Amino acid sequence: MVGAMSLLTMNGAIKVHTIGDSTMAEYDENTTDKRGWCMYLGSFLDPAFVTVNNRGKSGADTRGFYTGAAYWASVKSQMSAGDYLIIQFAHNDEGTVTYGMDNLEYAQYCTDNSLPAPTDARGTNPQTTYRDYLRLFIDEARALGVNPILVAPICRAYFANGDIKRNGRHDLGDKFSKIENGVLYENQSVPADDHSMDYVEAMKIVAQEKNVPFIDLMQATRDLYLSYGETQCLNLLFCEGDKTHTNTMGANLIARQAAQLMKEASILADHISIPTSISANPTALDFGEVYSGVQQNKELLITGFGLEPAAGSVTITCDGDLTISADKTNYSQSATVNYQGSTLFQKVFVRVSYTGQGAQNNTITITSGNTQLTVPVTANIISLDGGSAVSALWPIADKATVTNATVQGPVAANCSLNHMMAADTKSDFTQGDETGITLVRLHNADDGGSKTAWPANEIDENATRYIDFALTAPSTMEVRVTKISLDIAAHSTSTMCYHINTGFGADFTDVQTIAEKVNMTNLEIEHLELTPTLTIPAGETLHIRVLPWHNLGEAKSGKYICMRNVQIEGLAFDPTQEPVDPQEALDHVQGDHVQCTKVIENGQLFIEKNGVIYNAQGVVVK
């Protein structure tokens, strides 16, 4: 099987699709220092032959990813015969309410015993449902002619006595729950040599059963973490205060390990390169579609291993509208970084605010001695000239009006709470020098909207618990969102966390995480102004979801997340009309020797000629 995979011939680029959880997912450099390792996998693959379609999803377990309309079904629609599928799950399969149990089994137990239904739908059993869903991914991928690969989940950095603890290796044998003969047994354990609650062992068994490659990334990351030691591992490889999610350095090193293990297993071996000299990750920066005048940020990771001389410097320069920084504070068109010990690991921050419209091409150049690398930078600039201003504002001033919005322009707005409820208001918040600010407190709730405790040991978002703010474009116009802003705070806790995700339609597709906070400061209001590039097609709906979770080792009630002044702003355009250059618009109506004046009103372009007002297309409007 493995040998046959390495003999694949292609008529075009092979796609490597990756499915799993937050440890492999995509993250926006503008919002968080968290990085999934699959963000960097492509830098070790030859882009002329192989591309990576990273579909890792924060908070996903195998069942949730398989059944979620926006996930497995959409990944399958992107697959072609000859592609590869990397499958990595376990973190969320282990559960948060009861450990090692199938959540549907536990939900039925609650129903049978008149207990509140669990609000967290995650959790599978390593002996049953976890294996079942891995088999489904494998079988359905193979039916499409796709090559599945099972990859063990990366370790959690749970150190003890010079090793990674058992649960950090995804073996819940020291503490798990089970139901036997209608009775729930918690805090169960089995001996260290009993792997019945070991998700990695369960994955190995499925790999053998289905004859698919197995990449033991758990053991590889265990060795990596131990090589650094606890203090250095947490400081250098992980996000602050987090023992599960890696930063840029950690994610890059794990991707390097995964690529090396794939090469050793003869998986895409001819197209995998593990560089030892200076390299840039990614090899090209694509900002994609961006709005004119709206600042954008990206990251470039420069690495080198076994460098000669053992100590030296690297110079980075850029052109055009680009600026760069090695410290995320001082930006210019050049930067110099030093290295020692023959090893370089440097993050470079790239900032730009494009003007105009259309395709944009720039270059970043990296020079070390006689070695020079160029990183192409591309973008497609979308003009905001000629749009009509639209917005929706949810003041959230009191409990009774949480979902009420004030709307400007031809858009519709809606707000809904799922497994959340508005509890009351409190007036003890601060923002800068201002004190005594009043906010509405929002709490975890059951299916009926009644207050219930936050589950224990949640380390990531629960996709079924959120406050949803929705903006619907008119049927004849598309809306380009220019800003999303809000005030957000925690009450009675310093361990409240959140993601803010965007998605489209009832199935919440094309999900992006645009903001994140772990362990919020109690009673301190944070003001967010977010500028993602989001276009709502005519008649479609954009959802902004705030997904809170409480990062504590025990279930707790009386802990709150609070918001106010949630606002979505944008400009509405005729979707059939291409953006008009202001000078072209002036030329369109000016005529022979007649002076015209350009007027911008409420974000929309008008032209005045002899007392008559025209829009950007030359149509008389007044």
Instruction: Report whether 173 contacts 117 (CB < 8 A).
Output: no
Residues 267 and 360 in one domain: no
**Coil/strand/helix, residue 258:** helix
**247 alpha carbon, distance to own chain's centre:** 13
Residues of the chain with pLDDT under 50: 1-12, 579-580, 592-594, 600-603, 621
Three-state SS string over 72-114 comes to HHHHHHCCCCCCEEEEECCCCCCCCCCCCCCHHHHHHHHHHCC
| Sequence-separated (6 or more) residues with CB below 8 Å from residue 188 | 175, 176, 177, 178
Residue 36 belongs to some domain of the structure: yes
Within-domain flag for 184: no
> CA dist 166 to 115, 151, 218, 389, Å?
31, 18, 12, 56
> Are residues 397 and 320 part of one domain?
no
Residues 45, 268: contact at Cβ < 8 Å? yes
**Domain final residue pick, 271, 304, 326:** 271
Q: Among candidates 442, 450, 449, 439, which has minimal Cα distance to 467?
A: 442
Global pTM? 0.74
Domain that holds residue 598: 582-615
**188 lies in a domain?**
no
Per-residue pLDDT at 281? 85
**Interatomic CA distance for residues 217 and 34, integer angstroms:** 19
* Six token digits for residue 16: 């490597």
pLDDT at 579: 47
Residues 6+ apart with CB under 8 A from 312: 338, 339, 368, 369
Q: Residue 438 falls within a domain, yes or no? A: yes
Residue 1 is predicted with a pLDDT of 37
Q: Enumerate the H helices of 165-229 as residue ranges.
A: 199-210, 217-228
From 382, 412, 441, the end of a domain falls on 382
Are 513 and 593 within one domain?
Answer: no
- The alpha carbon torsion through 73, 77, 80, 86 (nearest 10 deg) reads -40
Total number of domains in the chain: 4
- Do residues 563 and 590 share a domain? no
Residue identified by tokens 């940020």 is 297
Cβ proximity of 581 and 357 under 8 Å: yes
Place of tokens 């073996």: 171
The DSSP secondary structure of 31-62, one letter per residue, reads T-S---GGGTGGGGB-TTTEEEEE---TT--H
Are 159 and 23 found together in one domain? yes
Give the model's pLDDT for residue 605. Answer: 55
CA–CA dist 44, 12 (Å, integer) = 18
Question: In whole angstroms, what is the distance from residue 101 CA to residue 177 CA?
Answer: 6
The answer to whether residue 114 is domain-embedded is no
Q: How far is CA 287 from CA 238, 570, 582, in A?
A: 26, 20, 24
Residue 177 lies in a domain: no
For residue 457, the model assigns a pLDDT of 81
Q: Are residues 13 and 86 in the same domain?
A: yes
- Output the domain CATH number for residue 204: 3.40.50.1110
pLDDT for position 618:
54
Q: Give how far the C-alpha of residue 75 lies from the chain's centroid of Cα atoms, to the nearest Å.
A: 16
**Do 266 and 289 reside in the same domain of the chain?**
no
β-strand partners of 335: 316
Q: Do 255 and 338 belong together in one domain?
A: no
Backbone angles phi, psi at 367, to 5 degrees: -125, 130
Q: Alpha-carbon distance 564 to 438, whole Å? A: 9
What confidence score (pLDDT) does residue 363 get? 97
In this structure, are 364 and 292 located in the same domain?
Answer: yes
- DSSP-based three-state secondary structure for 467: strand
Give a yes or no: residue 520 inside a domain.
Answer: yes
In a domain, 115, yes or no: no
Question: Shortest CA distance to 205 belongs to which of 134, 272, 143?
Answer: 134
pLDDT per residue over 524-536, tens digit each?
Answer: 999 999 988 999 9
Nearest-angstrom CA–CA distance, 494 and 606: 50
Beta sheet of 214-215, edge-to-edge order? 50-54, 14-20, 84-88, 147-151, 214-215
Tokens of 436: 């005594």
How many other CB atoms sit within 10 Å of the CB of residue 313?
A: 12
